[in-house]
Structure 1
Amino acid sequence: MLDLYWGLLITGVLFAVVTVIFGDLLSNALDGLFDFMSGEHLHMLQPMVLFSGITVCGGAGIVMTRYSSWGNAGILLASLVCALAVSILVYFVYVKPMERSENSVAFSMQDLVGTIAEVITPIPAGGYGEVLVRMGAGHTNQIAASFEGKAIQAGTKVVTVEVKDGTLYVACFDKEEDSVNR
C-alpha cells in the first residue's frame, strides 16, 4: 500500500511542477481537453481539484502508514476522507471564487448612449472631434460628432444621444453652455 501512496503523491507533485513550468504551453496544446469538466454536471472534477485530492491522499497515506497503528483499510479510508475534504476546500476556497472573479473590461458602443462625457478635441459643426467618457474606474476616448450639427468647444460636458458607425453623436449637457457655443 505504501507504493500506492507514494505513486499518488509523486503524481500530484509532478502535475503541480509541470503545470507551473509548462502551464501556458500545456494549456494551448490541450485546449478544450478538459472543457467537458466545466459543465454543470462535473464542475467539481476540474484538474486542480482532482490532483490536489490525489496528492493529499498519497501524502496522508504515507504519514498514517508510518506513524499510526491503523490497518490498511483504516488508513485508506482516512486518506480518502482527507483527500475529499481538501478537494472540497480547494474547490470552494479557490476555484469557485476565481470563476466568479473573471470579468471583462469590454463594453458595447451602445452602452455609451446616455453617458456623460467631456469634449477633449473640439467638435466642428459638420465634423468630428473627440470625447473622454468615464467608464467605471477607467475612461475611454471616442470619436464624436455633434448630434445637433453645432460646434462644441473643448472642455464642454456632453451627453451621448446615439451611436452610429462607431461614432458617438453628442449634445451639450448643460443648456447654458449650449447657448454660449452659438
Structure 2
Amino acid sequence: MELFGYSLENIYLVLLLLSGAIMLLYLLFGDAIEGVWGAFGLFNPTTILAFITIFSGSGYLFESISSISSFIALLISIVISLIASFLLHFFILVPLKSAEESLAYTENSLEGRVGKVIIPIPADGYGEVVIESYSGMISKPASSYNNSPIEEGERVLIIDVVSGVLQVTDYEQAIDFYKE
C-alpha cells in the first residue's frame, strides 16, 4: 500500500529513524526539554517518544515481514504501542518519579531529627554530625546550640539550621529537659 506516493514500509522506517534520533537527543538534552515541556504539562515526552518509536518499529515489521493487510497492521501497531507506553508510564516512570522525590531533603526537614557527632563540636566552634535517612547518610557541619562542647559519638538533637549549619544540643540533656 502507498501513502503520498511512498510505500508504508518506507514511511514506517523513516518515522522509526526520526523518533530514534529524537530519543537520542532527548537523552542528551532531556532536562532542558523537560523544563520547556513542563509548561504544557499534559503528556510525558518519554511516553510520547516511546509510543512513536514502538508504533513505527512494529508497523515496519508488520509491513515487511507479514502478509496481513496494511490497515490491520496499523491497528495492531497502535494497540501494541498503547500497551507498551501504558506499561512504561505506570510501572517505570511513575515509580521513578516518586523515588526521585523521596531522596531529596530540605534543611527545615532536618529540624527535630537525631544525629550522631562524628567530629567533636567545641563550645564556640564547629564539628560534624551525621544523620541516617532513607536515602543514606547525611553529613552536615554543626555547632552547639547552647555553646557547650559535645564529644564524638554523642547523639544530638537538631534544634535549628542556620546558613547550612546544624544547631544541635545533646540528646540526653534535651530528653531530661522535656521530662521535667
TM-score (norm 2): 0.75
Q: Counterpart in 2 of 1:112?
A: 110
2:153 to 155, 175, 180: 155
Helix, strand or coil for the counterpart of 1:83? helix
Question: How big is the alpha-carbon RMSD for the aligned residues of Structure 1 and Structure 2?
Answer: 3.2
Asked whether 1:98 is paired with 2:92, we answer yes
- Structure 1 residues 163 and 37, CA, compared in 2 at 3 Å: closer, same or farther? closer
Larger Rg computed on CA atoms: 1
- Between 1:123-132 and 1:45-54, the stretch displaced more is 45-54
- Match for 2:139: what amino acid? N
- Structure 1 residues 95 and 11, CA, compared in 2 at 3 Å: closer, same or farther? farther
Q: Counterpart in 2 of 1:10?
A: 13
Report % sequence identity.
19
Separation of aligned partners in 1, 2:173 and 2:35: 59
The answer for unaligned runs of 5 or more in structure 1 is 69-74
- Structure 1 residues 33 and 58, CA, compared in 2 at 3 Å: closer, same or farther? farther
- Hey, which bits of structure 1, 4+ residues long, moved more than 6 A? none
Contact 1:8 1:55 in 2 (8 A): no
Separation of aligned partners in 2, 1:46 and 1:54: 12
TM-score (norm 1): 0.74
- Match for 2:65: what amino acid? V
Contact 2:159 2:166 in 1 (8 A): yes
Contact 1:120 1:132 in 2 (8 A): yes
Helix, strand or coil for the counterpart of 1:134? strand
